[in-house]
Amino acid sequence: MRKWYDEEDGLKRKFMETFSGIHASEELKAYTLSQMHGGAESKTLKQENGLMSLRKRLCFLLPAVTLLSVVLIMGLWVRQSGTPYITDMEQDEFYEEVLLKNGKIRFVANRVAISITPNLGGITIGETPDENVHEVMEEKETDSGGKLVCRRGASIVLPDLGEKDWSYIEEQEIYVTVLNAEEIRYQAVFEKDGQVYELIGTNVTQREFIDYLYQVIK
Amino acid sequence: MGQSKGRYQVDLEEAVRQYADMIYRIAMTITGNRQDADDVFQETFLRLVKSRNKIQSEEHLKAWLIKVAGNCAKTVVMNPWNKKTQGYNKEMGTPMIFVDGQQSRLLMELHALPQKYSVVLYLFYYEGYSVKEVARLLGKNENSIKTLLKRGRNLLRKSLEEGGDSNA
């Protein structure tokens, strides 16, 4: 069956039907004419209504984008210098690049938050010589040539701590400190099942120490 | 529009009155929507203000307006923002174009054609210009217009056929 568009007359008729319904509105004509008489400063309706051309839009957008970028960079910088450093312990990507800043390092990973508070004073296990008796659970050398020791004792004496000084691995509360002495010494103390555990990492890297801590607690 | 001291002068009001609908329809054919057609319409006539001294005759004016409207519409269609949204429309199917509240399949398919075909088809079928006149208006030779008409017609039929349209 032949369709209207197969015949010249059909096409012509359809064009007539379609386009006879399309007109420039009187408002558009009047506005255009008024602008034409306005000369070089004429604006289209869109411009008049504040809708900008792409070029103009870019002129407005560029400073905004620049400003946002600066804010973002500043935000990242502030975050790096003071706020928790988010990482994922199980994915092996963290700590080495984090520097001691303002006396504290804080790692927050999947349910793991490690605050290392340097120079707050040592942690002692037990107050009296009797209580100070401890059992060495494990002692090993690390790849970097440092030494890791895990000891178990009966009680713990800690410096005066605020909530922010505590670290957590899941529900386990831990106190971690670093002594910036000639030999860098990390210490972590935690209480579990009525026992106090102390981990000491001497001349180890942060990563080796926290990996070990994580492994012991888990 | 008139001639004084032997030199053609464009009467702006008369130009708008006489060619408004034609320019608007060409703009609609190419851009496929009223908002962009409005812009093209205004831009075309505003450009006329600046170029009116270059217009040499009534015929020249008509050809000039068609050419400029086509170029303005092309600029709108090629605008990166429009291209993006058209890409989206393509994914969503052929964009809907309404004339007097009714979806116009012919206009949709014309809009989908390359501009060189749609303008020639419009001038030939709606404005009723002969091949020779269209060639003169668009500054092309008659054979090119015949080829454009033939190809444009075939493309239009093909797209209407694919769309399953028999009387839209």
pLDDT, position B41:
92
The answer, yes or no, to whether residue B11 has pLDDT greater than 80, is yes
Chain A residue with CA closest to B28: the answer is A22
Place of tokens 């379609």: A18
pLDDT of B93 reads 42
Mean pLDDT of A159-170: 63
Q: How confident is the model at residue A90 (pLDDT cuts 50, 70, 90)?
A: very low
Which residue has tokens 């106090």?
A196
Asked if pLDDT for residue B4 goes beyond 70, the answer is no
Q: Which residues contact B133 (CB under 8 A, 6 or more apart)?
A: B123
Contacts of B167 in chain A (CB under 8 A): 4
Task: Say which residues have a Cβ less than 8 Å from residue A17's Cβ, sequence separation at least 6.
Answer: none
Each residue's pLDDT tens digit, A111-138 = 445 555 544 444 555 545 555 567 788 9
pLDDT value of residue A45: 55
Q: Is A65 left (phi over 0), alpha (psi -120 to 50) or beta?
A: alpha
Q: ipTM value, please give it.
A: 0.78
8 A C-beta contact, residue B50 and residue A40? yes
Residue B69 pLDDT > 70, yes or no? Answer: yes
**Bridge-partner residues for A107, per DSSP?**
A85, A114
Residues 6+ apart with CB under 8 A from A115: A104, A105, A106, A107, A164, A165, A166, A167, A176
Nearest to B49 among A16, A18, A39 (CB): A39
Q: Do A46 and B38 touch (CB under 8 A)?
A: yes
CA angle A121–A125–A127, rounded 5-degree value: 95
Separation in Å, CA A18 to CA A28, A192, B37, B99: 20, 84, 16, 7
Q: Which long-range contacts (C-beta less than 8 Å, at least 24 apart) are formed by A189-193?
A: A189/A123, A189/A125, A189/A156, A189/A158, A190/A217, A191/A156, A192/A217
Q: Is A113 exposed, middle or buried (0-12, 13-18, 19+ CB in 10 A)?
A: middle
Are the beta carbons of B79 and A46 separated by less than 8 Å?
Answer: no
Kind of pairing, strands B98-99 and B102-103?
antiparallel
The tokens describing B101, both together, are 């509240």
Greater confidence (A107 vs B34) lies with B34
pLDDT at A24: 87
The DSSP secondary-structure symbol of A164 reads G
Q: What is the pLDDT of residues B135-161, one digit of tens each?
A: 888 888 888 899 999 999 888 888 888
**Token couple for B155:** 């493309």
* Residue B17 touches chain A, beta carbons under 8 Å: yes
pLDDT tens for each residue of A12-63: 888 888 888 888 888 888 888 888 887 545 555 555 555 555 666 677 788 8
**What percentage of chain B reaches a pLDDT higher than 90?**
17
Give the residue with greater pLDDT, A177 vs A88.
A177
Mean per-residue pLDDT for B68-73? 89
Residues 108-147 of B with CB under 8 A from A: 121-122, 125-126
Q: Tell me the pLDDT band of B23, cut-offs 50, 70 and 90.
A: very high
Chain-chain contact of A19 with B23 (C-beta, under 8 angstroms): no
Residue B28 in this model has a pLDDT that exceeds 80: yes
Does the distance separating the beta carbons of A24 and B24 come in below 8 Å? yes
Q: Over the stretch B88-137, which tens digit does the pLDDT of each residue have?
A: 444 444 444 555 545 577 888 888 888 888 889 989 988 888 999 888 88
Helix (H) or strand (E) holding A179: strand A172-180
Asked whether the predicted pLDDT for residue A74 surpasses 50, the reply is yes
B100 touches chain A (CB under 8 A): yes
Mutate one of B19, B42, B146 to test the A interface: name it (highest A CB count within 10 A).
B42
- Asked if A188 and A210 touch (Cβ cutoff 8 Å), the reply is no
Mean pLDDT of chain A: 69
pLDDT exceeds 80 at position B53: yes
Report yes or no: B19 at the A interface, CB cutoff 8 Å: no
- Name the helix (H) or strand (E) containing B70: helix B58-78
Strand pairing class (A147-153; A135-141): antiparallel
Rounded to whole angstroms, how far apart are CA atoms A203 and A205?
7
pLDDT at A21: 81
> In terms of DSSP bridges, do strands A105-109 and A85-86 run parallel, antiparallel, or are they unpaired?
parallel
Whole-number pLDDT of residue A85? 42
Q: Can you tell me the distance from the alpha carbon of B134 to that of A53, in angstroms, rounded to the nearest whole number?
A: 32
Residue A172 CA, chain-centre distance (Å), reads 23
The encoded tokens of residue B22 equal 């034609």
